Chain A
Amino acid sequence: MAHNDFAGEEPINYEQKCPCVLVLDVSGSMSGKPIRQLNEGLKEFREEILNDETACDRLEVSIVTFGSDIDEVQSFSLLENFEMPELKINGSTRLVDGAKEGLRLIEERKKWYKSTGQTYYRPYVILMTDGYPDGGQDIDGLSIEVNQGVDNKKFNFWAFGVEGADMNMLEKISHPQFKPLKLKGLDFVKFFKWLSSSMSSIAASHDGDNVDISPKSENDNPFQITI
């Protein structure tokens, strides 16, 4: 250090956590190429986050799958602490139950943060589906829960559809601030690259409200939208 330069060591401060739950469709229609691509995309997501020194210390990910069963295949953890699970096909499409489980896990995690004196970034619920929910699933109830939660800044909820998804249903459950988007083909790798980049920006932000996470170029754009 030169004599006439400012210098100062930083103290050890722990990182505040940014919880994100991925609610993923593993119903029968995802068999074959879609589930392989989804698994590949998840691995890409992990690698990208681990390469970001801020996000890898802040982003806690949980994974819930929905088919005929609802499974929490990964509980909240930093990505460095686990390998991505290999998702397997599991029957029908209990989408609402899966999404509600994601919301329940978020509330549970928030309680844990509070009980341990931690502040946290506004949680994200990311829902991904390629189909129509099973009959009897309470779409209206989920819609109310999602919209109230987003309005009250309890969490952000974002739904994504793959070819074949019921986009009208996704529109119905989503908050107007987070309109559902449809993927181009089965490019889960590009989607998870975008998601990792978005979550990195959110985890590095001070206040998630104004973070611009739209795709920056057509090349990075995993969605059927024009930039």
Chain B
Amino acid sequence: MSKSLWKIVGASLVGKSHIESSIPCQDAHNFKLINDTTGIAVVCDGAGSSNNSHLGSEFIVKKTIEYITILIEKTSCLNKDIQITHEEWQEHMLELIKKLQEELYDFSQEQKLEYKSLACTFILILFSPHRILTCHIGDGRAGYADVSENWKSLFIPFKGEQVGQTVFITSDLLNDNEHLIETSIINDNISSFTLMSDGCELASWECYNKKEDEESYYDPNLPFPKFFKPCVNALKSMYFDELSDGEIQEKWSSFLENGNTALQKETDDKTMILGTLINT
């Protein structure tokens, strides 16, 4: 009997500029399968200008997995037969962010750290073969491929005028601007998905192109198929060749380190999670 299951790989690598300045990796990520076909993936990118943002990223990733596991059980939001409206999803996410902020604040008090020094961005994906639910704050990228392997982006990153300017889970700006907590529901046949910190975007995403007039620039915000298709194929073949999770993980880390010229040149922390649905 045929069955489907997700194969997922993810890594967070400390950036070269951070190694030189003895700054820890400020990115954090995690993923969890609820069962063979549904799961959660989270990526947080700590603010470069915040001293303890690596702790903030780790904390938010851990707590998110805990809360979302409960939420999936409670709402069956990934069940194909259960409809969930955008309003309902948004409400759940606003509640989640509020909880995360409160817990992060308590953590800052316990650790005697400034709350804002824990600033990080936030990308959450809940996935099943038929649905993706997202929530994000700040920059980074996420996308998915449908069964025809058409890659699409899942949100527009929030970026300021200057490089690196964005909004974080700790930002005051969120209080009066709920739209900065972006949520979406995609009902589609999903074959693969990805989420990443912005340290990986130049290597894998069309994000800074020239317009036809050759004088101005824009962000097409498109996952680059020539990046993702070979990666997905490799992940599938590693599964069928029965490579261990450890071996796949090692290969993924090494690929993110120097798999193409842009990955080699990048000095920021790099995090990317890639998942693909395997039909056996």
A contact residues vs B (CB 8 Å cutoff): 3-16, 18, 53-54, 110, 113-122, 153, 201, 204-212
Q: Does B246 contact A (CB under 8 A)?
A: no
A119-B163 CB under 8 A given contacts A6-B231, A9-B260, A206-B268: yes
A18 to chain B, nearest CB (A): 8
Whether B260 contacts A8 by the Cβ 8 Å rule is: yes
Q: Which of B160, B215, B228, B241 contacts A4 (CB 8 A)?
A: B241
Query: Which residues of B lie under 8 Å from residue A16 when comparing CB positions?
Result: 163, 208
Whether B231 contacts A8 by the Cβ 8 Å rule is: yes
Query: Which residues of A lie under 8 Å from residue B159 when comparing CB positions?
Result: 119
Query: Which residues of A lie under 8 Å from residue B267 when comparing CB positions?
Result: 54, 204-206
B contact residues vs A (CB 8 Å cutoff): 15-17, 20-21, 23, 47-49, 159-165, 198-199, 202-211, 215-218, 224, 226-228, 230-231, 234-235, 237-238, 241, 243, 251-252, 255, 259-263, 265, 267-268
Interchain CA distance A40-B161 in the complex, whole Å? 35
B214 to chain A, nearest CB (A): 10
A10-B208 CB under 8 A given contacts A4-B238, A117-B218: no
Query: Which residues of B lie under 8 Å from residue A7 when comparing CB positions?
Result: 230-231, 234, 255, 259-260
Residue from the set B163, B255, B259, B268 with the largest chain A CB neighbour count within 10 Å: B163
Whether B217 contacts A8 by the Cβ 8 Å rule is: no
A217 to chain B, nearest CB (A): 14
Q: Which of A4, A116, A121, A212 contacts B217 (CB 8 A)?
A: A116
Query: Which residues of A lie under 8 Å from residue B211 when comparing CB positions?
Result: 117
Whether B20 contacts A208 by the Cβ 8 Å rule is: no
Whether B234 contacts A10 by the Cβ 8 Å rule is: no
A207-B234 CB under 8 A given contacts A6-B259, A13-B206, A54-B265: no
Q: Which of B17, B48, B162, B224 contacts A153 (CB 8 A)?
A: B162
Whether A13 contacts B161 by the Cβ 8 Å rule is: no
Closest to A204 in B: B267
Closest to A117 in B: B217
Whether A11 contacts B227 by the Cβ 8 Å rule is: yes
Whether A120 contacts B48 by the Cβ 8 Å rule is: no
A10-B263 CB under 8 A given contacts A206-B48, A210-B48, A210-B49: yes
Query: Which residues of B lie under 8 Å from residue A117 when comparing CB positions?
Result: 211, 216-218
B254 to chain A, nearest CB (A): 8
Whether B230 contacts A6 by the Cβ 8 Å rule is: yes
Q: Which of A54, A114, A207 contacts B48 (CB 8 A)?
A: A207
